Amino acid sequence: MTITIATAECFTHGIIAREIHAAIQGYHGEFGPKSLNLKWLKDRRGELILLCGMFIPTLSAVKSVLKVNPPQPQKLINGIKVYQEEDDLEVAVLMARAVKEITGADIGIGTTAGIGRGGISIVTDKLTVKTTSDVSADLCSSNSNQLLARQKSGIKKTFMLLESVLRHYEIEKNFKSD
């Protein structure tokens, strides 16, 4: 069984996709994944495919690439959508669903963060999960360090969530094939 994954990322800058790709391709050193504790991902080499990872900071590209109509952002900075946390959670789900649908992936991942802790969502055919990172920041006023801390938390949280979703997905598939 091969499981396909696709991401549509904002505040995680496409890093989740790159980390998944590097882990399942078995890349090492500076070319390998930077995140810790990805053994569960590396162990699935040959069982997972990262179809694509999109970094989509702008409202315009959310509409043109993902073909969704997200709520109107609180603000736009240089075309970049800035939502409050509640909207980010909703938009993360929209992004995860859209990238899953466009690519035909088994698992879609969406992330976006404006003001607050941001939104993270993972969707499968059966499951839609969403959460926030553990760090609050404001895209309009926070400095690079604060935004970096939120990003790191978001990436870590996404991987924790993905590990659970994968296990759930695999159990369900194995159960079906019995």
Question: By CB under 8 A, which span of 26-34, 36-44, 113-121, 169-177 interacts with a copy of itself?
Answer: 26-34
CA–CA dist 15, 54 (Å, integer): 10
SS (H, E, C) 58-77: EHHHHHHHHCCCCCCCCEEE
For the window 50-89, what string marks contact with a copy of itself as x by the rule CB under 8 A? Answer: xxxxxxxxx-xx--xx------------xx----------
- Strand segments (E) across 19-177: 48-55, 75-77, 80-82, 107-112, 115-116, 119-123, 128-131, 137-138
For the segment 133-162, give every residue that binds a copy of itself (CB under 8 A): 143-145, 147-148, 151
Of residues 69 and 144, the one with the C-beta less far from a copy of itself: 144
Nearer to a copy of itself, 22 or 175 (CB): 22
Q: How far apart are CA 41 and CA 35, in angstroms?
A: 11
**For binding to a copy of itself (CB under 8 A), which residues are involved?**
4, 6, 13-14, 17-18, 21, 24-25, 27-32, 46, 49-58, 60-61, 64-65, 78-79, 102-104, 143-145, 147-148, 151
